[in-house]
Amino acid sequence: MIFAGIDIGSITAKAALIRDNKLVGTCVIPTGYNPVTAGQKVFSALLAQTQIRREDITAIVATGYGRNSVDFADKAMTEIICHGVGAHFLNPKIRGIIDVGGQDSKAIALDANGQVENFAMNDKCAAGTGRFLEVMAKALDVELDDLGTISLSSSAPSKISSICTVFAESEVISMIAGQQKREDIIAGIHESAAARVGGLATKIKLKGPVIMTGGVAKNRGMVKALENRLGITILVGDLPQENGAIGAAVLASRMTL
Q: Where are the domains of the chain?
A: 1-91+239-257, 93-236
pLDDT for 123 equals 65
Cα–Cα nearest to 99, from 120, 73, 116: 120
pTM attached to this predicted model: 0.90
Q: Is residue 92 within 8 Å of 34, Cβ to Cβ?
A: no
pLDDT, tens digit (0-9, with 9 covering 90-100), for 169-228? 888 888 888 888 989 999 998 998 898 899 999 999 999 899 999 989 999 999 999 999
Q: What is the pLDDT of residue 257?
A: 46
How confident is the model at residue 135, as a pLDDT?
87
User: In this predicted structure, what is the pLDDT of residue 57?
Assistant: 96
> Does the domain made of 1-91+239-257 have the CATH classification 3.40.47.10?
no
CATH architecture classification, 93-236 = 2-Layer Sandwich (3.30)
Q: How far apart are CA 44 and CA 125, in angstroms?
A: 33
65-86, pLDDT tens digit by residue? 889 999 999 999 999 999 999 9
Alpha-carbon gap, residue 76 to 79, rounded angstroms: 9
The span from the first CA to the last CA of the chain, in angstroms, equals: 12
pLDDT in tens, 94-114: 999 999 988 889 999 999 998
